[in-house]
Structure 1
Amino acid sequence: MSDIEVAKDSFAEMLDSLVRGDPNEFLHLLSAYDVPLRLQDSMATVRTHFVSVDANGQPAIDLLATAMARAAMDFCIPRSRIEQALKHLQETGSTSQFSRLEQQARELFVDGDGTGEGGELLLFLLMEQVLQLPQLLAKMSLKTNNNVHVHGSDGVHAKLGEDGVLDLYWGESKLYKSSSDAFTDCFDSIGPFLGADGDTRRRDLLLVRENLNVQQDELAAHLLQYFDETNSKALQVRWNGVCLIGFDYAAYPDMTKLADAQEIEIAKAVKRWQTSIRARLEKNVLLEVNIDVFCVPFPDVDAMRKAVRKKLGVA
């Protein structure tokens, strides 16, 4: 193996090591429906999950909201500040810096109903812990007003491919009562980041370059080459997407106890959702873009949103 190949593998491993969290801590709260499906004549893969049901027959919304709220610091706070808090803990034995970061992370969330930021937390967990894609930009840390949403995509994550290409993944989450509205708005929103016209994407790339959420100097220097238009590595970047789409679904199922009639009805619904997703992808000229879509029906999106806000301590 050549020195170039060794270096490439080393950087890939260093980037992979930035993935945070343990999927065993929250994935049991989302029951997968069947296996991931690659949509016909597209590069999109759809994963459908339902909220797991507890022994009392109730969807585990409270537990899921707790898991989402616990991801707030990882989602919002740059690794450099977390490293500083860890160093302070090691030197003083005090967790005060971590408590301060936790409070700051929660205060970054919009103080108002209707926010999509609860969805952003779940999207972050799915990107990191299911797809194993580490965050390159802690976008929430750039907020200057907790009453204003972060503009642009909901996250930028990355992976170094075996071919040396840097795969960048733009995230977008939408939690609406209507599945049709959620599908439409999600792909309308992520489309500009993944299309041939790079103006919208370029603004996010500038943010990534100026606020790269990577601690290792050697890895950071390697990654920054991909964001330098004067460097040949700028040609070795692929655009990808990850979407979380949540919406209301009546007669919520327990996936471990499906009656035949209910199983047939859910299969029909999942097929409709997949068909709708493909139609929106085609409309936004995204069939040839690699996109992972997490389709998550909820008993009540508004109740889910309020549960997350309560766990975050947002008024």
Structure 2
Amino acid sequence: MEESNEGLEQLEADLVSLKDKVELSKYAAVAVSSQDPSLPTTTLMHVRLREDLANVQSLARYLWGRAANYALSRKRRLEFDEQIAELEPGDLSVSLLVAEATRDAFIEFTAKYPQRASEIGELLAYCIAIEQLGAAQLAAKMSLKTNNNMPVHGLDGIHAVVEDGWLTVYFLESKLNQTANGGAADFAESVADFASNKKQYKLEYSIVRDLGNFDTLNAKSREVALRHFDIMASPDEVPKRERYVGVVLYSDDKLFKSLPPVSKGQKPGFHERELAAAYAKQLDHHQQSALKHLTKQGADPNKCLVYFIVTPDIDELRKLFYDVMGYVPKVVKA
């Protein structure tokens, strides 16, 4: 057991070293989180305001700024680091290659089929897993695409952290929907599908072991990490628990339009505090919605965490994201 504890401590240090820096809270704030023992664990978040207006432009720009770290494997990112180190001062040519590689990892956006471009939700899930859960990304699944306009099947992301003597693995699922209830239903269905698909379950762990970010660790650290992510290992040797994280990005323009009008005497942050207070009243409704759908699908709400992120219009946020990326929407003929 002592050897196992040493291995877990080594893995904890390595996961910390693999964790990217994220400051999503500057652009999307937590309004309220549920308290135990209510289920599932539920958090309500909203796009932050610039005085009384939703600052979706800044959120879109920030997410694009995190896109390279999310979409490119750590090995590829370190290769770019080496190229940058060899440049003369002031030479920014490699930065263009980084941007190009990142854009190539994303699905081509088309105005006719915007629902196919759901990766903004995946980016939000990546940021939440790091900032809210302290969990490092184990594999950049977007970098595994074989076709530029085909999504990766399976989970949207896999993250992990060592805490309280456990290796906690988070399976991420992001959903974009016009309503919170619809997004909760989509998440519950995905959880049920994945939990019952043993082949996909094994495949996700294989991706982590064979194609994940552990290949940038030194030999000993990599050996320890791979041993802990061996799903055939004895549970007594590897104290591991798995959790499903749902990130539901949805629209509610009425919530933002219900804010008090701008007037003299309002202190900085007034409208955002008003928004958070009004939104927090929806916690029970959203939590019960998630519980209803998870129960209906036969999923265990004890193993689920749901993050609802509200914005005035998800299509506007998505378009702004692709605008920042530099994509021109492809015209699809009827």
Give the corresponding residue for 2:97.
100
Whole-Å Cα distance in 2 between the matches of residues 292 and 257 of structure 1?
28
Q: 1:273 to 1:39 in 2, by over 3 A?
A: farther
1:284 maps onto 2:294 in alignment: no
1:28 maps onto 2:26 in alignment: yes
Asked if 2 retains the 8 angstrom alpha-carbon contact of 1:47 and 1:293, the reply is yes
Cα distance, 1:300 vs structure 2: 0.7
Whole-Å Cα distance in 2 between the matches of residues 247 and 4 of structure 1?
43
Alignment map for 1:131-170 (pairs within 5 Å): 131-163=133-165, 165-170=166-171
Whole-Å Cα distance in 1 between the matches of residues 119 and 192 of structure 2?
19
Asked if 1 retains the 8 angstrom alpha-carbon contact of 2:49 and 2:272, the reply is no
**Counterpart residue identity of residue 103, structure 2:** R
1:45 maps onto 2:41 in alignment: yes
Give the corresponding residue for 1:14.
14
What are the Cα deviations for residues 200-256 of structure 1, in whole angstroms up to 9, with x where unaligned?
Answer: 311211222210212113222112113435543686432211111011113233683
Whole-Å Cα distance in 1 between the matches of residues 26 and 150 of structure 2?
33
Asked if 2 retains the 8 angstrom alpha-carbon contact of 1:109 and 1:314, the reply is no
Whole-Å Cα distance in 2 between the matches of residues 283 and 201 of structure 1?
21
Q: Which has the higher contact order (CA 8 A, sep 6+)?
A: 2
Asked if 2 retains the 8 angstrom alpha-carbon contact of 1:78 and 1:213, the reply is yes
1:78 maps onto 2:58 in alignment: no
Alignment map for 1:121-140 (pairs within 5 Å): 121-140=123-142
Q: 1:83 to 1:263 in 2, by over 3 A?
A: closer
Whole-Å Cα distance in 2 between the matches of residues 153 and 4 of structure 1?
29
Asked if 2 retains the 8 angstrom alpha-carbon contact of 1:118 and 1:309, the reply is no
Asked if 2 retains the 8 angstrom alpha-carbon contact of 1:239 and 1:289, the reply is no
Whole-Å Cα distance in 1 between the matches of residues 4 and 79 of structure 2?
33
Whole-Å Cα distance in 2 between the matches of residues 107 and 223 of structure 1?
30
- The alignment partner of 1:99 has SS state of helix
Segments of 5+ residues of structure 1 without an aligned counterpart are: none
Please provide the CA RMSD for this pair: 2.6
Give TM-score, length-normalised by structure 1: 0.87
**Counterpart residue identity of residue 130, structure 1:** Q
1:251 maps onto 2:271 in alignment: no
**Counterpart residue identity of residue 192, structure 2:** G
Q: 1:202 to 1:80 in 2, by over 3 A?
A: same
Task: Name whichever of 208-217 and 285-294 sits farther off.
Answer: 285-294
Whole-Å Cα distance in 2 between the matches of residues 188 and 39 of structure 1?
23
Segments of 5+ residues of structure 2 without an aligned counterpart are: 260-268, 329-334
Cα distance, 1:279 vs structure 2: 1.0
Whole-Å Cα distance in 2 between the matches of residues 259 and 65 of structure 1?
22
**Counterpart residue identity of residue 44, structure 2:** T
**Counterpart residue identity of residue 96, structure 1:** S
Whole-Å Cα distance in 1 between the matches of residues 33 and 183 of structure 2?
22
Paired residue for 1:240, among 240, 243, 256? Answer: 243
Q: 1:172 to 1:256 in 2, by over 3 A?
A: farther
**Counterpart residue identity of residue 74, structure 1:** N
Give TM-score, length-normalised by structure 2: 0.82
Cα distance, 1:8 vs structure 2: 2.9
